[in-house]
Amino acid sequence: MPHRPTTSPVTVATPHGPVRGERHATGVRFLGLPYAQPPVGSLRFAAPVPPEPWTDVLDATSYGPTAQRRAFAEVTTIPEPTIPGAATLNLNVFTPDPSPAADLPVLVWIHGGGFVAGSAASPWYDGRSFNRDGIVLVSLGYRLGIEGFLQLPDAPDNRGVRDWIAALEWVRDSIACFGGDPAKVTVAGQSAGGGAVQTLLATPAAQGLFRAAISVSGAVMEPQGRGTAEAVSALFTERTGVLATAAALQHLTDAQLLAHQDRLTAPAPGGRRLPMLALAPFADGELIPQPVREALTAGDAGAGIPLMAGFTAHEFNGMPQPGLTAADVRNTLAAFGLDEKRTRIFLDTHAPYAHEPARLLGQAVTDTTFRAPTLAVADARARLERPTWLYEFTRPTTAPGFAGMACHCADLPFAFDLLDAEGVTATLGENPPQHLADAMHAAWVAFVRDLEPGPFWPRYGSEGRETMIWDDTPRVERDPLRPVRETWTDLSPQ
């Protein structure tokens, strides 16, 4: 049965004014708290501005408006509600103890959705299990798509990134009112949210706002330089006939802006090809000084911050690809830059899919978008002896459409210990193993609390490359991802 908490009102004083939340079985939740003013009018494409203070008690018993303005069920399997309203720069606090003296560790969660979708109001992001285990959970919303990430010459770059920083500043200044310790903040996210975590590690303005990081299936734009972002803006004007400026976009309705976004991202056979994440954080040279992957593998970004990172084994293998042939797969692998030697390694590694071209292509997308980039970050950090823990989630789902695969998002209900949440059965199948949720969730709690996930999971090192495998029987293996490294990173062209 879905969790149905028994609630009672609780009022807390904050630096901006009093807020009223609801007590439930494991703590108190405060929903839809503004961390910045509504991004409308002159603020639509501006940097976030702190909220105005209030004197009346603010009701915080319902989720606030979302930047997602329409359902994007095809992006993830997570139920992510769309809630209308202007005040989209809001966050939710789930706390075991709203006492300023509690000094509890804090987990700040950034949702995924390809930087164009997603919702902090998802039942998969409820904080009740973390509250049960002494952790304050904060989930935040941020500007998406064009409003958050399209490069505009008359507006600040990376507005969505600025939103994340503003939310973390709110946590720094206000979380003690809810029982959290601002010196014990871990930032975490999945998919685009995992990319957000990596981006924050590489953003100087975010340093000091969190002490640890968890990147789940993290993805960033590649290539990520300013030139790529400017090319996307030029293509926006070419495809829509509208100048890529804040002045030209300022007064468009949400529906008009989404229609233009669809025109920008629509496939164009023979036309200019967009990066997979076209509307996403980019290295603007100021807020984000250099491309994130470069900063994390060749620079000092995140040097002193413990990082837990990983992915599922088959992130995008379930993508429908009707009519795909083996020749199409080989051509795609060549387009990804694989020579014949690398192609053979890839095909041999995934021999069980030899007669399933769609799964092979999905695996290539999984590897190039999630597994190989995260592995490169882990390897670089290991060489420099930076505290890193790597995992791969391999437990296959039994749900129709995903059966036999550890697909994108399948690890989250286990990490949050919410196997009874709405939509979980449709993703994982019937009776997902509670013991796996117990183990994964305990590792997350330990990491947020103690800065390491427990003695059973050693650091990822440059010698043994010890990696946690989350499966029906969780275990640590030595360098299980070697084929990924050999295929996508270490081999030289013939």
Q: Write out the catalytic residue numbers.
A: 191, 315, 408
CA–CA dist 223, 283 (Å, integer): 10
CA–CA dist 406, 255 (Å, integer): 35
* CB 130 within 8 Å of CB 94: yes
The b/e string for 253-276 (b: 16+ C-beta within 10 A; e otherwise) is eeeebbebbebbbeeeeeeeebbe
CA–CA dist 147, 344 (Å, integer): 43
DSSP secondary structure string for all residues of 165-206: HHHHHHHHHHGGGGTEEEEEEEEEEETHHHHHHHHHHT-GGG
CA–CA dist 220, 466 (Å, integer): 25
Residue 224 DSSP one-character state:
-
Q: Which residue has the tokens 């399209």?
A: 150
DSSP secondary structure string for all residues of 392-423: EE-----STTTTT---TTTTHHHHTT-TTSTT
DSSP secondary structure string for all residues of 338-379: --HHHHHHHHHHTGGGTT-HHHHHHHHHHIIIIIHHHHHHHH
Q: Would residue 146 be called left, alpha or beta, if left means φ above 0 and alpha means ψ between -120 and 50 degrees?
A: alpha
Q: Which long-range contacts (CB under 8 A, 24 or more apart) does 233-240 make?
A: 233/150, 233/151, 233/152, 235/264, 235/272, 235/274, 236/146, 236/150, 236/260, 236/264, 239/263, 239/264, 239/266, 239/268, 240/264
User: In the numeric block, which tokens belong to residue 437?
Assistant: 């949720």
The b/e string for 422-457 (b: 16+ C-beta within 10 A; e otherwise) is ebbbebbbeebeeebbebbbebbbbbbbebbbeeeb
Residue 37 DSSP one-character state:
-
Query: CA nearest 63: which of 84, 47, 38?
Result: 84
* CB 120 within 8 Å of CB 141: yes
Tell me the one-letter amino acid at 287. L
Helix axes of 159-174 and 192-201: crossing angle, nearest 10 degrees:
70
